[in-house]
Amino acid sequence: MRNALSVFLCLVLFVTALANYTLASSIIYVNIYPPKSAQPNSINYYLKPGNDVLILFRVSAIPALGSMNSFFVTITHSGDALNYEIYNGVNNPNSPGSPIQRGGLSSPTSILFPWDSDFVNVPAGQRTKLVSPVGLRIVNTGKKAGTVSIKIGVNESVGGLVVNSKPSGASVYIDNKFIGTTPLNISGIKTGTHVVRISYQGYADRVRTVIIRPHRYEFISETLLTPANTGSLYVDSNPRGASIYLDDNYEGETPRRIDFIPVGSHTVRLSKEGYRDYVQQVWIQANQTTTISISLIVEAIRYKLSINSNPSGARVFVDGIPRGITPTYTYVTPGYHQVKLELEGYLDYEETVHITRDMLLNINLQVAEGALVVFSEPSGADVYVDDRYYGRTPITIQRIPAGRRIVTIKMPGYADWTDDVLIEPGKISQVSATLKLAGTLQVSSSPPGAKVYLDGKDIGVTPLSNSGVPEGTHNLSVELFGYKPWQGIVEILPRQTTNIFAKLEPAPIDISGLTVSPQVYKVKTPFKKDLSINFTITKPATVTVEIRDMEDRVIDVLMSNFKSSVPKLEVKWRRDISPGNYKVVVIAVDEDGNQAYREAIFRVEEESLLNWILYGIFGLLILWIISILL
C-alpha cells in the first residue's frame, strides 16, 4: 500500500512538472549588441497550425559600443489566428516559466522592450524589470498556415503609452487617429508631444497632452464622468473668431458651446491676433450652461514679423505657438520673442529676436547630418546607402543626411544584407552585419508563369534563377491562379545550385472572402454610398452576382455570366429599395461545369428624419455663407 502511494505521488509530481515543461517546435536566437545592432535583425518563419516558435533575445552589454536602452519588435503574419507569450529571464528554453504577458496577435503588432525602465503588462498593470534572455513565443492556434515576419530595432527613438480608464472599454485616439480600447498598451510611438483623447458613449471625453520619451512607457489613467457630473460652457467674444482654450486645450473659435465639461473650476483663455489675451476662471455646474461674453481689448502696438526660410516649407513656432509654414508672417507685441523653425531632414533653428519695429527674418536651414560606421563579417564587403556606393567594410561614412536610410552590404558568394537604419543628427549610428554564404535557387513549374515566394517574399515568376539566396532552410511557395499552391522547404547549400520543379495541380472551383460593405446600406439619403462587394475565386470561371431578398427572389442582377480570368473581384451597386434584410449571392461555374455558391447578408435602412433636418440646416448654412462671400 505504501509503495503504491509513493508511486502515485511521484506520478502526480511528474505530471505537474510536465505541465510547466513546454517543448517549442523551433527556437531562434537573436543577439542584441548596443547601441544599434541585432543579429539577425529580421526573421521570417513559416508556421503551420498547432506549431509554435520561441524567439530568445540575448542582450549583450558592451560599454565600448554604447548603452542599452530598449529594443523594439514589429510582428506581421499571414495566419488567421495567432497568440503570443512573453517570458523574462529564460534559462531553459524548454521550461521558460510563466509568461509576463500573453494575448492574441494581430497583424501588425509592435512590442517595446525597455531596458532601462520597466516593462508594463496590460491589462494587469504589472511592471517587470527585464532580464536577458527575453523570450517571445508565437503559437499558430488557427487552421491556416502562414509566414510570421519579425523585425527588430535597437535603441530606436520610440516609446510606449499605457492607457487605462474607468469604465474600461473606452476608445483611445492619438492625434485624432483611433488606436484601440482601454486597457491599452501602445508601442512604437514616435517621441514628442501627442494629443490623446479617451471617449466612451454616455461619458464626457477626456483629452490629455502627453510627451513620449524614448525607450520608456508613459501612463494615463482617467476616471470618465457621466453627463450628470458635467456641465456646458457657452463662450462669445467681440469681435468674434477668437481662439478658445479651456484648461490649455484648444476648443475652437467664438461663438461656441462646449459640452461635457467636468463640474468644478476651469481656466478659459481667449486669443485673437491684434488683441490682448483674456483669461478667466469659470465654475461649471452639473447639467447647467455657464455663459461668458467678452469684449477683447485691442493691443496698443503690434509689429509684423515676416519669416522666410531656405528651403521653404518649414513649420514656424513663435513663443511655442504654431504660426504657419514658411514663407509666413504674424503680428507680435514689442519685446523679446522666441522663434523656432522645424523641417524634416534639417536641423531645428531657434533664435530669440528683439522686436522694436516690423522685422523680416531670412533663415538658411542647415541639413541635418549624422555618421555611420559599418562592419561586416567577413570584411571587405561593398557598402551602399540608398543605392549610392560608399566603399568597403570596415568603413566610417561622414555627413549622411539624417532620417531613415536603406543600407545594403554586398559581397560575391554571399547573400545581400539590407536593413533600414535611422541616421540621427549629430550622432554616430552603427551597423554590424554577419554575411551568410549564398547559393543559387532555380525554380521551374508546370505550367510556367507561376509566382514564387521565398520565406513569404515575392522573388519572381517561373522559370527563375536567383544566385543570392542565403544558405540554410527556406520556405518556398509556388502559386498560379487556377492551381493549388505548391509549398515545400528547400535547403540552400553555399556556392551550389538547388533545382526545384513544381508540378501544379488544378484547383477546384471555390469562392472565398465574400464581404459586403457597408453592412447597413442607407437609402433615401442625399449622401448615398455604393454597396461594395468583394470576393475571390480559385480559378477562371463564369461569375454571376445577384441581390436577393430573404425568400430568394431576385431583386437585381449585378453581374451575369461574366468570364473572369483574375482571382479578386469587386462589384459596386447603388439603388433605392425597401428597408429590410437582403443577401448578396455569388455563383461561379468553371469550364467543366462545376459550381461554387456563396452568400452574405446585409441590411437596408432609410435615413432618419433627424438627419434630414440636419442636412437641411447644413444646406441653408452653406447658402448663407455663399451669399456673404458674393
> pLDDT of 73-115, one tens digit each?
888 888 888 888 999 888 877 778 888 888 888 878 888 888 7
pLDDT digits (tens, 9 = 90+) for 255-286: 988 877 888 899 999 988 778 888 899 999 88
**pLDDT tier, 424 (very low <50, low <70, confident <90, very high otherwise):** confident
Burial 82-94 (b: 16+ CB within 10 A, else e): bebbbbbebeebe
Least trusted range by pLDDT, from 88-97, 439-448, 497-506: 88-97
**pLDDT tier, 16 (very low <50, low <70, confident <90, very high otherwise):** very low
Q: Hunting for cell 531645428 — which residue is that? A: 348
| CB-based contact 417:433 (threshold 8 Å) | yes
**pLDDT tier, 187 (very low <50, low <70, confident <90, very high otherwise):** confident
Task: Report the pLDDT value the prediction gives residue 302, as an integer from 0 to 100.
Answer: 79
Task: Report the pLDDT value the prediction gives residue 462, as an integer from 0 to 100.
Answer: 92
Instruction: Reply yes or no on whether the pLDDT at 538 is more than 50.
Output: yes
Separation between Cα atoms, residue 459 and residue 469, nearest integer Å = 10
Q: Which three cell numbers stand for residue 13?
A: 509530481
- Helix boundaries (H) for 181-334: none
Residue 88's alpha-carbon distances to 57, 91, 96, 292, in angstroms, are: 10, 9, 8, 57
Q: Classify 7 in phi/psi space as left (phi over 0), alpha (psi -120 to 50) or beta.
A: alpha
Q: In what order do the strands lie in the sheet with 249-253?
A: 249-253, 243-246, 264-271, 278-284
pLDDT digits (tens, 9 = 90+) for 307-330: 999 988 888 999 888 888 889 998
Least trusted range by pLDDT, from 50-64, 166-180, 199-213: 50-64
Instruction: Reply yes or no on whether the pLDDT at 484 is more than 70.
Output: yes
Q: For residues 408-436, give the mean pLDDT.
A: 88
Least trusted range by pLDDT, from 129-138, 151-160, 338-347, 540-549: 151-160
Separation between Cα atoms, residue 51 and residue 458, nearest integer Å = 24
Q: Which three cell numbers stand for residue 130?
A: 527585464
Q: For residues 9-35, give the mean pLDDT.
A: 54
Burial of 159 (0-12, 13-18, 19+ CB in 10 A): buried
Instruction: Reply yes or no on whether the pLDDT at 607 is more than 80.
Output: no
**Which candidate, 320, 72, 318, 112, places its Cα nearest to that of 209?**
320
Q: How many CB atoms lie under 10 A from the CB of residue 234? A: 15
Domains of the chain in start order, with CATH, are 24-156 (2.60.120.680), 160-223 (2.60.40.1120), 227-295 (2.60.40.10), 303-364 (2.60.40.1120), 369-434 (2.60.40.1120), 438-503 (2.60.40.10), 511-609 (2.60.40.2550)
Q: Which three cell numbers stand for residue 68?
A: 542599452
Spatial CB neighbours of 586, under 8 Å, sequence gap ≥ 6 = 511, 514, 533, 535, 543, 544, 545, 597, 598, 599
DSSP E strands: which ranges in 4-145?
26-33, 37-39, 42-47, 52-59, 70-77, 82-87, 101-104, 109-114, 119-120, 127-128, 134-140
Peptide bond into 526 cis (omega under 30): no
Instruction: Reply yes or no on whether the pLDDT at 11 is more than 60.
Output: no
Q: Are strands 464-470 and 438-446 parallel, antiparallel or unpaired?
A: antiparallel
Q: For residues 608-629, give the mean pLDDT.
A: 70
Task: Report the pLDDT value the prediction gives residue 227, as an integer from 0 to 100.
Answer: 67
Q: Which three cell numbers stand for residue 536?
A: 475571390
Average pLDDT, the chain: 83
Instruction: Reply yes or no on whether the pLDDT at 5 is more than 70.
Output: no
Which stretch of DSSP H or E encloses residue 491? strand 486-492
Separation between Cα atoms, residue 494 and residue 497, nearest integer Å = 8
pLDDT digits (tens, 9 = 90+) for 561-578: 888 888 888 888 888 888
Q: For residues 545-553, give the mean pLDDT.
A: 89
Q: For residues 392-400, give the mean pLDDT.
A: 89
Within the chain, what is the greatest distance between any pair of CA atoms?
Answer: 104
Separation between Cα atoms, residue 365 and residue 346, nearest integer Å = 6
Spatial CB neighbours of 440, under 8 Å, sequence gap ≥ 6 = 465, 466, 467, 469, 496, 497, 498
Separation between Cα atoms, residue 116 and residue 470, nearest integer Å = 35
Separation between Cα atoms, residue 423 and residue 428, nearest integer Å = 8
Task: Report the pLDDT value the prediction gives residue 526, as an integer from 0 to 100.
Answer: 66
Task: Report the pLDDT value the prediction gives residue 586, as an integer from 0 to 100.
Answer: 93
Beta bridge partners of 199: 171
Spatial CB neighbours of 425, under 8 Å, sequence gap ≥ 6 = 347, 368, 369, 370, 402
Task: Report the pLDDT value the prediction gives residue 612, as an integer from 0 to 100.
Answer: 60
Spatial CB neighbours of 237, under 8 Å, sequence gap ≥ 6 = 254, 255, 270, 272, 278, 293, 294, 295, 296
**pLDDT tier, 9 (very low <50, low <70, confident <90, very high otherwise):** very low
407 half-sphere exposure, CB direction, 13 A CA radius: 29
Least trusted range by pLDDT, from 158-167, 388-397, 440-449, 530-539: 158-167
Instruction: Reply yes or no on whether the pLDDT at 3 is more than 60.
Output: no
372 half-sphere exposure, CB direction, 13 A CA radius: 30
**pLDDT tier, 66 (very low <50, low <70, confident <90, very high otherwise):** very low
Task: Report the pLDDT value the prediction gives residue 35, as an integer from 0 to 100.
Answer: 67
Burial 487-508 (b: 16+ CB within 10 A, else e): eeebebeeeeebebebebeebe
| CB-based contact 610:617 (threshold 8 Å) | no
Which stretch of DSSP H or E encloses residue 524? none
Spatial CB neighbours of 261, under 8 Å, sequence gap ≥ 6 = 204, 230, 231, 232, 233, 246, 284
Phi, psi of 228 (to 5 degrees): -65, -25
Q: What is the DSSP string of 113-181?
A: EESSS-EE-TTT--EE---SSEEEEEEE-SSS-EEEEEEEEES-SEEEEEEEEESS--EEEETTEEEEE
Q: For residues 602-613, give the mean pLDDT.
A: 73
Q: For residues 578-599, give the mean pLDDT.
A: 90
User: What's the Rg (C-alpha) of the chain?
Assistant: 31
Task: Report the pLDDT value the prediction gives residue 447, as an integer from 0 to 100.
Answer: 92
Task: Report the pLDDT value the prediction gives residue 12, as an integer from 0 to 100.
Answer: 38
| CB-based contact 317:330 (threshold 8 Å) | no
**pLDDT tier, 21 (very low <50, low <70, confident <90, very high otherwise):** very low
pLDDT digits (tens, 9 = 90+) for 354-373: 888 899 999 998 888 888 99
Task: Report the pLDDT value the prediction gives residue 10, as an integer from 0 to 100.
Answer: 44
Phi, psi of 50 (to 5 degrees): 85, -15
Residue 10's alpha-carbon distances to 4, 7, 19, 122, in angstroms, are: 10, 5, 14, 37
Q: Which three cell numbers stand for residue 209?
A: 497632452
Task: Report the pLDDT value the prediction gives residue 445, as an integer from 0 to 100.
Answer: 93
Spatial CB neighbours of 137, under 8 Å, sequence gap ≥ 6 = 24, 52, 53, 54, 55, 84, 85, 86, 87, 96, 99
Which has the higher per-residue pLDDT, 324 or 62? Answer: 324
